[in-house]
C-alpha cells in the first residue's frame, strides 16, 4: 500500500498550508516529514505526520506518547515542540536538524574507528538516560533515527508512534524479547543501542539475514560474534561491553541506561586516554567537546586533527569528576579491570614487555606528565650509578 493510499490526502497537498503558525515549505525527500518556516520569528522546524490509526484508542495512545516526548529537553534528543491534528491525522512539530542521519554516514564509511563509535554511543546513551527518567522508551532505535548536525551534534529522534513494526531497516536492532511479545523494558533500548555501536565498529549488523522474519528468528536464537574476534583493532573491553548490551538474558544485560553510560565513561577513561597518547593514535578519532569538529562528514577521518594538547586530558578529568560527584556506579568490564566504584588503569594482554606495561601504566597514572616522571627516574638512576662508580673509584 502506497503512502497516498494510507493517507486521506496526497502528501504534497499540504505544502504551503499553515500548521501551528508555521508555513509548510517542502516535503523532505519521500517521507512524511516536511520543512516548515515561521517568518515572524525566523525559525525553521520539521513537521512529521503519522498514518491514521483505525483504532481510536491506539490513536489516543500515540498522542499521549507524543505529548510526553514534548517534555524531553536534552542536547542529545531532537526537541519536539507541539502535537496537533491536521485533516484527521496526527502531526508533531520538532526541531529541524540540517545534516544527515547515522545510516547515511555509515553508508559512506562502512566501518568507523572504535573511538568514534564509543563517543557516538556515549552521547546517544546520555539521551536515553534523559528519556528513561520520564519512562519514555524508544522501541525502534536504529541508525535512521540518529541525526548528525553539521556542527557535529548527535541527536536521537524520539518522535515516533512507539510501535514495533519489523522492517529491513529496523529488525537488525530490535531486542529479541520484543519479537516474543514479552513485557517492554528499558533494557530493550539498550540492546538496540548496543547493536548500533556494533554495526559502527564492525561495518556489519550483529546478525545477518535476508527477510525480517528470518533476522528476527536469528536474533532470538543466536548471539553475535564479539567484535574483537573479527576486527583486530577493537579493544577487548569494548567488545565485552557490547556483549553485555546484547545478551539474550535480561538479568545479565545492563538494567538501565545510566549503567551503560557509566560503563562507556569507564571505557573511555581507561582505554581512550591511553590510545590518545600512543604513537599509533596521533589522529585520534574521539572528539572531546572542546574540539570544533567542522563538517560531520569528516567524523571518521578528521574528528581530531590537532597535535597532542591538554584538551583531551581535561575532558577526561571532567568526565571523571562528574562520575565522582554523581556517585555514578562503575560497571566492571571484566573481573580484574575495576573494583567497586574506583576507576583503575588497565593493562592490555598485548603489552607483553615489562617496559611496555610500565610505560603504559605511567601514561595512565600521570597523563601528559608521564615523560617528566620517566626523565626524573632516568636522572635519579644515572646519578645513583655515577655516585656508585665514584665511590668505588675513590675506595
pLDDT tens-digit map of 323-357: 455 544 333 323 233 333 333 334 344 444 555 55
Q: How many CB atoms lie within 10 A of CB 120?
A: 23
Task: Answer yes or no: is pLDDT of 36 > 50.
Answer: yes
- Tell me the C-alpha distance between 349 and 98, whole Å: 44
User: According to the model, what pLDDT value does residue 345 have?
Assistant: 38
Three-state DSSP class for 214? helix
Q: Which of 126-130, 168-172, 301-305 has the lowest mean pLDDT?
A: 301-305
DSSP string, 216-262: HHHHHH--PPPHHHHSTTS-HHHHHHHHHHT-S-TTTS-SSHHHHHH
Task: Answer yes or no: is pLDDT of 268 > 80.
Answer: no
User: According to the model, what pLDDT value does residue 156 have?
Assistant: 94
pTM: 0.68
Alpha helices in 268-341 (DSSP H): 273-276, 311-325
- Tell me the C-alpha distance between 150 and 31, whole Å: 21
User: According to the model, what pLDDT value does residue 106 have?
Assistant: 86
Does residue 222 come out as left (phi exceeding 0), alpha (psi in the -120 to 50 range) or beta?
Answer: beta
Residues in the chain, overall count:
395
* Architecture of the domain whose range is 99-275: Orthogonal Bundle (1.10)
Q: Which one is predicted more confidently, 86 or 93? A: 93
Section 111-138 average pLDDT: 89
Pairing label, strands 22-27, 43-49: unpaired
CATH class of 3-95: alpha beta
Confidence grade of residue 271 (pLDDT, cut at 50, 70, 90): low
Q: Which residues pair with 24 in a beta bridge?
A: 36
Separation of CA 115 from chain center: 11
Q: Grid coordinates representing 120?
A: 557516538
Task: Answer yes or no: is pLDDT of 393 > 50.
Answer: yes
Contact 78, 156 (CB under 8 A): yes
Q: Grid coordinates representing 182?
A: 514479552
Q: Grid coordinates representing 57?
A: 484508542
User: According to the model, what pLDDT value does residue 379 have?
Assistant: 80
Q: How many CB atoms lie within 10 A of CB 158?
A: 29
User: According to the model, what pLDDT value does residue 34 have?
Assistant: 92
**pLDDT tens digits, residue range 193-233?**
999 999 998 888 887 766 666 777 776 767 777 776 666 57
Amino acid at each position: 500500500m502506497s503512502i497516498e493510499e494510507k493517507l486521506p490526502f496526497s502528501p504534497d497537498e499540504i505544502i504551503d498550508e499553515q500548521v501551528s503558525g508555521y508555513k509548510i515549505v517542502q516535503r523532505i525527500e519521500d517521507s512524511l516529514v516536511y520543512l516548515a518556516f515561521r517568518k515572524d520569528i525566523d525559525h525553521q522546524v520539521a513537521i512529521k505526520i503519522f498514518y491514521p490509526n483505525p483504532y481510536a484508542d491506539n490513536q489516543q495512545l500515540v498522542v499521549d506518547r507524543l505529548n510526553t516526548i514534548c517534555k524531553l529537553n536534552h542536547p542529545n534528543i531532537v526537541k519536539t515542540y507541539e502535537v496537533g491534528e491536521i485533516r484527521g491525522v496526527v502531526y508533531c512539530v520538532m526541531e529541524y536538524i540540517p545534516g544527515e542521519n547515522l545510516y547515511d554516514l555509515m553508508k559512506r564509511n562502512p566501518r568507523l574507528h572504535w573511538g568514534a563509535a564509543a563517543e557516538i554511543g556515549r552521547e546517544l546513551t546520555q539521551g536515553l538516560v534523559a528519556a528513561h527518567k520520564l519512562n519514555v522508551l524508544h522501541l525502534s532505535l536504529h541508525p535512521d533515527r540518529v541525526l548528525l548536525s553539521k556542527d557535529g551534534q548527535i541527536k536521537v529522534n524520539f518522535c515516533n508512534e512507539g510501535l514495533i513494526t519489523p522492517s529491513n531497516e529496523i529488525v537488525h536492532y530490535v531486542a529479541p524479547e520484543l519479537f516474543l511479545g514479552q513485557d517492554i523494558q528499558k533494557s530493550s533500548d539498550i540492546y538496540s543501542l548496543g547493536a548500533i555501536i556494533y554495526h559502527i565498529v564492525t561495518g556489519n549488523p550483529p546478525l545477518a539475514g535476508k527477510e525480517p522474519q528470518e533476522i528476527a528468528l536469528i536474533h532470538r536464537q543466536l548471539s553475535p560474534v564479539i567484535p574483537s574476534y573479527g576486527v583486530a583493532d577493537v579493544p577487548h573491553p569494548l567488545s565485552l561491553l557490547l556483549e553485555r548490551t546484547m545478551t539474550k538474558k535480561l538479568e545479565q544485560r545492563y538494567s538501565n541506561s545510566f549503567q551503560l553510560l557509566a560503563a562507556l565513561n569507564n571505557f573511555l577513561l581507561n582505554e581512550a586516554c591511553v590510545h590518545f597518547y600512543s604513537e599509533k593514535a596521533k589522529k585520534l578519532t574521539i572528539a572531546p567537546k572542546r574540539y570544533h569538529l567542522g563538517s560531520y562528514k569528516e567524523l571518521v577521518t578528521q574528528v581530531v586533527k590537532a597535535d597532542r594538547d591538554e584538551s583531551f586530558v581535561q575532558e577526561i578529568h571532567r568526565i571523571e569528576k562528574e562520575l565522582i560527584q554523581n556517585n555514578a556506579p562503575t560497571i566492571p568490564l571484566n573481573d580484574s579491570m575495576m573494583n567497586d566504584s574506583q576507576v583503575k588503569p588497565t593493562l592490555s594482554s598485548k603489552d607483553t614487555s615489562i617496559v611496555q606495561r610500565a610505560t603504559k601504566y605511567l601514561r595512565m597514572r600521570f597523563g601528559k606528565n608521564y615523560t617528566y616522571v620517566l626523565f626524573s627516574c632516568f636522572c635519579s638512576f644515572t646519578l645513583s650509578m655515577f655516585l656508585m662508580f665514584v665511590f668505588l673509584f675513590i675506595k
